[in-house]
Amino acid sequence: MTNATTTEMDQTTSLYDMTNLEKMKDLGTHAPEAMKAFVAFDKAALAAGAIPVKYKELMAMAVAFTTQCPYCIELHTNKAREYGASDPEIAESVLVAAALRAGGAITHGTHAMK
């Protein structure tokens, strides 16, 4: 398999073209202080603390499924695995996200019942 084929396969098996994330540096160029603050906040929020990193990454992954951010889904699923999350933990986290998303639709549906 050639490098071009491998790259093409990686991009097609990815939810989105992950090379788009390279454009984040443009955000830093145009809004450096805000971007620095975001990066510091993101790093602090996901760092080990009272909640171990594995569980923070599972939470981040579940939130990514509810916000439907493909970059975040891929990033946090991979990070969760890197920190030891098992397939059953990932599956349950996905289903928690699905339940909450469905629950939101149900509760918002009450507004239609007039």
**Res. 56: pLDDT tops 70:** yes
CB 93 within 8 A of CB 58: yes
- Residue 85 is predicted with a pLDDT of 99
- Residue 18 is predicted with a pLDDT of 80
Buried-exposed string 96-105: b where 16+ CB fall within 10 A, e elsewhere: ebeeeeeeee
- Helices 53-67 and 70-82: crossing angle, nearest 10°? 160
Between residues 11 and 51, the one the model is more confident about: 51
Judge whether 37 lies within some domain.
Answer: no
Judge whether 31 lies within some domain.
Answer: no
Judge whether 66 lies within some domain.
Answer: yes
Domain harbouring 73, CATH code: 1.20.1290.10
Judge whether 61 lies within some domain.
Answer: yes
Judge whether 26 lies within some domain.
Answer: no
Segment 86-97 mean pLDDT = 98
Judge whether 103 lies within some domain.
Answer: yes
User: What residue numbers bound the domain in which 109 lies?
Assistant: 50-114
Q: Structurally, how many domains does the chain consist of?
A: 1
CB 97 within 8 A of CB 66: yes
Rounded to 10 degrees, the C-alpha dihedral 8/62/47/29 comes to 50
Judge whether 32 lies within some domain.
Answer: no
